[in-house]
Amino acid sequence: MNINNVAFERSFGISSQLPPSSLPEIAFAGRSNVGKSSLLNKLFNRKSLAKVSQTPGKTATINFFSCDGVRFVDLPGYGYAKVSKAEKGRWAELIEGYFNQERNLALVVSLVDIRHAASDLDENMIAFLQDAQLPYAVALTKADKLSRQQQIKQKAALKRQLALDEDVPLVVCSSEKGDGIDELRALIGAAARG
Ligand code: GDP
């Protein structure tokens, strides 16, 4: 896959608008502000493919990108407290709607902030992926904010908390410094090839 061939496709505000899955999909999920947009931009070496915001709680949409026959699905960031009930409902509709459809899911990248214990919503997301037997990997974001020593400690703590199986890839990432980016690209490439 040549990352330079990525193109934004469309945003969707309601899951029933989603077109059937015509390509293998790599979906990205995580709580609001976890660093999902930054990671997508870093993966594709772009500044503003996905919008990075200082203020979390953007409008909930599912954004499609495509690159060399693979679709990248940016799911809405969950768990931002200061949004209306209606907005939270829209988030749930989109994310549940997406996973309830017959999608050609090659990989779900579930993002968790390496600095903190996983939130209840992170735990729910990963338990769902596990129960549904979907192929997934966990990206631990913002690693540059911790020392190497702390990274190792937090990686082990999160692996325990989330009860991850040995075969679930757990990638320490930094969109600032580039840690984990090649590893994620390799996982995505392998998953997309089947
Ligand atoms: P999103 O809401 O999950 O899409 O998160 P964003 O990508 O918009 O990032 C939220 C905030 O975290 C922004 O202020 C980013 O600059 C910051 N951020 C994201 N990734 C990293 C990272 O790897 N390292 C550091 N230090 N900050 C990051």
Q: Write the pLDDT tens digit of every residue in 72-125.
A: 999 999 888 777 888 888 888 999 999 999 999 999 999 999 999 999 999 999
In the chain, the DSSP E strands lie at 7-12, 25-30, 62-67, 70-74, 105-113, 136-141, 170-172
Query: Domain 3-193 maps to which CATH number in 3.40.50.300, 3.50.50.60, 3.90.110.10, 3.40.30.10?
Result: 3.40.50.300
Residue 31 DSSP code: B
Cβ distance 23 to 104 under 8 Å? yes
> ipTM of the assembly?
0.99
**For the segment 21-37, what is each residue's pLDDT rounded down to a tens digit?**
999 999 999 999 999 99
The continuous run of DSSP H or E covering 181 comes out as helix 181-193
* pLDDT at 81 (0 to 100): 75
Q: 166 CA distance to ligand 1 centroid (A)?
A: 28
Q: Is residue 33 lining ligand 1, measured as CB closer than 6 Å?
A: yes
